[in-house]
Amino acid sequence: MANTIALLDSAGVIRERFGPASPWLVHVTAGNQLMGTHRDLTAFAKRSPDYRGWQSHHIVECHDLVRLNIATQSPERDDQLCVLLPAEAHLGRINSILRNQAPIGGVLSVQALLAAYSDAYATVGDYCGGGERKIRRELLDIVRATFRSFQLI
């Protein structure tokens, strides 16, 4: 998996730096989502009053990298591309659907995994004002770009 900027480029995600004076590299996308590494987003959320309580979500989850036998070729967990989400969107929606459709430790095809991510990201809604379709498209484009980078699709 490429670094976050290369992965965003590969996915065709339009973005700009959010808070250029910030010590963290956080991007705001055309869909109004905040993206960056897990490390940067976690630190940003802890120190930004408007985003306290929001959580960094790995767009392609770490255990899925293991499931697909690509974890050793991927950046460390803290350096992987994430999106900043309200806790209820992260835990209550996305993770509950992914755990149901793609149980940790289960064997799934890449296509089944893509379908699970598609269903999960369809539930996140317009949490940031960027429009449901655009939000979902950005997230799924990143999942596809990640899988393409390992020639899985």
Residue with tokens 């793609």: 102
123 vs 40: CA distance, rounded Å = 25
Are 3 and 75 contacting, i.e. CB atoms less than 8 angstroms apart? yes
pTM of the predicted model as reported, rounded to 2 decimal places: 0.93
Tens digit of pLDDT at every position of the chain (153 positions): 458 889 999 999 999 999 876 788 999 999 999 999 999 999 999 998 899 899 999 999 999 999 999 999 999 999 999 999 998 887 678 888 898 888 888 888 999 999 999 999 998 999 999 999 999 999 999 999 999 999 998
Is residue 56 within a helix (H) or strand (E), and if so which, with residue range? Answer: strand 55-58
